[in-house]
Structure 1
Amino acid sequence: MKRAFIIFFVILLTVVSGFSQVSEDIEQFEEENGKNYIKPLAYAVGANLNSGLFQTAKVLKPFGFGVVLNSMLAFVPEKDKTFMAIRPDLKDPMSGTPLYSPDEIESATIFGNEGGQFNFSGDPLQFTNEEDIQLPNGLNMSVAPILVPQLNLGVPFGNEIMIRYFPNLELSPEIGALSFYGFAFKHSLNKSLLKLLPLNLAVQTAFHSLSIGDVLEIKTFSVNGEISKNVLNWTFFGGVGWENTTLHAHYVSAASMEISGQPPFYSVNPVPTDIEFDIKGINGLRMSFGIGYHISVVDVNLSSSLGNYPTVNLGIGFSL
């Protein structure tokens, strides 16, 4: 158990550090490149938050409760570690030729490794502050971790409420706080339609919101059908769900530039620009399955979800 909590603590530090870098690096992109850089984050966070939502289709008894500490890992496809970045649309005022080359370069997304570089191709005698443009590196990660505390509450008439919450964590005075909450409602079908079936069946709907200061907000929504079977102290469970994820970004870009000066001398200067856009996640069906072990009041479960971003979830907790 001690080793498990050490692992959870390491995951927490990784998550906080990663989100801090995201909010800083996104400001170094204009809109189009910023979308492509941050898009895999929407996919990975959506996959993580929409996993580990249940460890059994059986609902808790009225006023019963359970606490679970979930750690999720979303596996990032290799193709989503890079994107083709577009150069700034700046041209030499005298010749009309682009100031940066090449037209496009391969660069790291948030989960990639090394950022690309646009080379200044203007006349160094004509421009007083010529500089190449180095795009940010990524986190160089093949998996995206997240840590989620979860409280389950049994309510009358075969229902259960799930609450996920994390206290605000201040990332920095400039960025703001990392905030997270989520909730779900589950209804047992065995209590109404399928009392005699030797399996537990339930339906569930869930919603989450994760914010990184005022820069990024990720929201998820999912609907799940669940099935489980208890064998002694073991629980085997699975389900099919439909999920929807959106990411909203709002930041001031330091990457926008303009040319100023008089012939024959010019300079390229940054122009702070307000950027705002939305990204849709990989929305659609997701299958999940897992196994749990219950001894006394302690619960341990391991589950996996299949999709474009497969996930693995490990949960440790207790229930009464």
Structure 2
Amino acid sequence: MATHDQTDHVTESAEEVVGWETRLRYFLNSDFVRSSPYWGIPFVLMGIAVYGGIGYNLAISFTDYSGLGTPDYSSLDFEMYTQALSSDAFLAAAQNNLVLLVVFTTVCLILGLFLAVLLDHGIRFSEKFQTVYLLPMSLSFVVTAQLWLWMFNVESGILNLIVTTFGFAPVDWIGNPSVALAAVIFALVWQFSGYTMVVYLAGLQSIPDDQFEAARVDGASTIRTYLRIIVPQLKEASVSAAVVLMVFALKAFTFLYALVGRYRPPNGTDILATLMVRRAFKFGEWAYSAAIATMLLVMALGVIGPYLYYQHKQGSL
């Protein structure tokens, strides 16, 4: 009897070994393993350069590192975070970020939708207008900033030439804190409204023409048709475009850096990204800047996270 039990045990062990060997062979022959030479190296490099950098930045933010020597990790605390949250410069930059995020995103969405409706409605030269509207988006932020820096020039800028033509005094668009942020938002809307127009235009062209015909038969006006029937169906386009615009509004460093100047004192246009770079490279406050960078990351995740959850609920992820 014992011999029979031992035989069954040996048989089961052999079957388990064969099963593990089969699963291992199947795993080694899977597409995941066979494609690893192609995605493995980029995955490791991205992990080191991106996520490793994020982790290192987070670690520095808990120290008092000034950019020289080796950070002291023996006493980690939240001093830089409390210092930032109690700083007037940080609060002013965060407020500008919020204004930029809300106003810039809202105006871009509304203007982009308006342009998309015009083009979808078949206005004359619509294809040429579409190219003209989208052209600013193809320019780099540095080129756009230099263009608007010339247009905002107090003495020879085209905007002040128009203003003085109507008898008004020239405006210091960049140097005056009361109008500088509005000037920046205006320039950014000029560059990004073409992007939102294309997103909305793609959404409009995916809506069947039968809905327009049915609304026209029912006696609905064109404006009422768009407001009640068409625009509610552009929810997906609105959400995706809004996320892109809000993320850019949080980190619009390149544009402001090129427009306002390298180390120019704050003039009402400071955002968290420009404050972070200035405090690191001009004042050597690397730990303080690392804390700002971490809070910027949290804010960006606060924008992207709900969008990813929404996409997951919709079955798109």
Higher strand share: 1
TM-score by length of structure 1 reads: 0.27
Determine which structure has more spread, i.e. the larger CA radius of gyration. 2
Answer 1 or 2: higher relative contact order, Cα 8 Å, separation at least 6: 2
TM-score by length of structure 2 reads: 0.27
